[in-house]
Structure 1
Amino acid sequence: MSFEETLRRQITLNTRDVLSSPALHALVAQECRELRDQVIARGQAPKAYRTYVDGKRNGREEDVRLDGGTVIYQFSILSQAAYWALSECQKRSPVHSGNYRSSWVLMVNEAVWQGLDAIPQDATIWIVNVTPYSRKIETGGMRIRVPPGIVEAVRLAVMRRFPGLKAKRLYLPMSGARDHRGNPTPYILRQAGISSGFSWDKKEKSWRRKHAAYVSPRMDRQAGEQLLYPTLVLTQ
C-alpha cells in the first residue's frame, strides 16, 4: 500500500470516528437549539415551528449528519399573524360599553382556541366578533364612532404584513362560542334585517345617508334565519 493510500485511509478513519462522536453530535444539537431560541427571543420568529433533520420531520438535532446534513426550523407565521390580527381587530373596535371589543374570538378549525403558540401550521383560522350586531358594524348598518369594515380593514393589513398568508373576509354561520351576554352562537334573527341607508364617507370621514331605510329582501336576513358573522379567515 502506497504512502498516499495509507494517509487517505487514516484520514477517513479519523474523520469517521470524529463525526460519530456522541459528544460532538450533542454539541452541534445544542448550538442549533440555542440559535433557534435566540431568534425567537428577539421576536424575529414565532414560538411555533416544525423541526426537520436531514429532511425528516420531527427529527432529533443529535441525529443530524455532520458531513453535509441539515437542521431546518420551519417557523409558522400563522400563529404570529393570528395574534396580530386578533389584537388589531380589538384596537380598531369602537368602545362604549366594551362588549364589542371584548367579544373577538379566535377559532382554529371551527373550534374556539386559546393557545396561540400551539396553532397547527395547516389549520384554518377564524377571527370573528360574536356580538349579535357584529354584521351591522361591519357593513355600516349601525352608526359608530369608527369607520365600518373592521374585518375588511384588518384583512388588507394582514396581507401587507404577512404576504405568505391567504386572508379572506367571509360571512359565515357560527357555533361553539358565546356572546357577551352568555348566549350561544349563532344568533337567530328576530325580525328581517334593515338596510339603514347610512354610509361612511372616507373623504369627509363622516356618516351620510345614501337612501331611506328599508327592510332587506335577502333570504339570509329574514326572521328565523341565523346570523352570518363577518369573519377573517387565515390560512398558510
Structure 2
Amino acid sequence: MATGFEFFERDLRLATEGLAPEAINDALAKFARKELRRAISEGIASEQYDRYVNGVKGAVEESVEAPGPIIYEFVNWPLVIKTALEELQRRAPRKSGRFAASFIVVAGGHIASDYRSIPADAEVIVTNAQPYVRKAEVGLLGIRPRRLFDGTKRVLNARFKDAFAAETRFLTIGAGVHPLIPYILKHSQGGRKDRQAGMPLTYPSIIINAVR
C-alpha cells in the first residue's frame, strides 16, 4: 500500500515561531527527516517510499518552501508481506523444511514475487501450497503454537491496524495459481460437503486489504 503523511501545521508553528523564512524551511526539512526515521525505525513504515516536496516528486527535503508540504508515500506491501511470511515460517512445522518453504503470495489471481509492484488497492492472499496445510492450521501435526494463519493474522492486525486489515478464511483456489493447487481429497474428512473425497481442498489463508 502507498500511504502518505504530512507534517501538521500546529507542530510546525510551535517549532518555527520567530524564525526567518530560510530558517523555517531548514527546520521543516529537518523535522521531516526526523519523522521519517522514526516511522521506519518503529516498523510502521517501509524503507521504500516516494518523496514529494511542494508537489515535486523526488525533490530533496532541503528544497522545501514553507508551508510545504513534505509528503512521504510509502510502498508498504513488501513490509506487510515480509512480516506475514516471517511469522508463518516461525510457526510452521520444521521436520523437513518443505512446509515452511511452501508459503505463497497471490495478488490478482497470480503468484506475486515483486511485492513492490502490487497495486495499493489489491487484495493479497497468503497461503501454503502443501496438501496438509489444513492439518497444520488446526493443530493435527502436533506443532505449537496452533493456528498458523489465525495467529499470524492477529500479529498483522496488531502491528498494521491503521493501514491494513487481515482476516483468515478457508479458500477454494483454482488451477493455474500453483502446480500443487488444487489438491483433490482422496478420502472424506468429516461430514461437511467440502471435505468429501473428490472435492478440492480448501486452503487456510490470510487475506490482506488496505484500510480505506
Structure 1, gaps ≥5 residues long: 1-27, 194-215
The amino acid across from 1:186 in the alignment is P
- Partners of 2:135 and 2:66 lie apart in 1 by 61
Q: Secondary structure at the match of 2:146?
A: coil
Aligned equivalent of 1:149, options 147, 150, 163: 147
Aligned to 1:102: 101
Q: Which residue of 2 aligns with 1:162?
A: 160
CA contact (8 A) 1:78 1:235 kept: no
Whether contact under 8 Å (1:103, 1:131) holds in the other structure is yes
Contact 1:103 1:130 survives alignment (8 Å):
yes
- The residue identity in structure 1 corresponding to 2:145 is P
2:204 to 230, 233, 236: 230
119 and 86 in structure 1: CA distance in 2 versus 1, 3 angstrom threshold? same
1:91 maps onto 2:65 in alignment: no
Q: Distance in 2 between matches of 1:190 and 1:121?
A: 39
RMSD value, Cα: 3.2
Residue 190 of structure 1 corresponds to which residue in structure 2?
186
Deviations 1:133-164 (A, max 9, x none): 10121123x23232321100111111111112
Name the amino acid aligned to 1:189.
L
1:23 corresponding residue in structure 2: none
- Structure 2 residue matching 1:158: 3-state secondary structure: helix
**How many angstroms does 1:52 deviate by?**
4.8
Q: Is the 8 A contact 2:153 2:168 kept in 1?
A: yes
Aligned residues: 178
Give distance in 1, aligned partners of 2:123 and 2:133: 21
Structure 2 residue runs of 5 or longer lacking an equivalent are: 1-25
Q: Does the CA contact (< 8 Å) of 2:129 and 2:180 recur in 1?
A: no
Q: How does 1:59-208 map to 2 (within 5 A)?
A: 59=57, 61=59, 66=65, 68-140=67-139, 142-164=140-162, 165-175=164-174, 176-178=176-178, 183-193=179-189
Partner of 2:37: 39
The one-letter code sitting in structure 1 at the alignment partner of 2:99 is Y
Q: Runs of at least 4 residues of structure 1 off by over 4 A? A: 50-54
TM-score normalised by length of structure 2: 0.70
Letter in 2 for 1:112: I
Cα shift readout 1:77-125 (whole Å, capped 9, x = no counterpart): 3331211111110011111121111111112233211123333322211
- The one-letter code sitting in structure 2 at the alignment partner of 1:190 is K
Secondary structure at the residue paired with 1:232? strand
User: If you compute each CA radius of gyration, which structure gives the higher value, 1 or 2?
Assistant: 1
One-letter code of the match for 2:138? T
**Residues 122 and 83 of structure 1: CA distance in aligned 2, closer, same or farther (over 3 Å):** same
SS of the residue 2:105 aligns to = strand
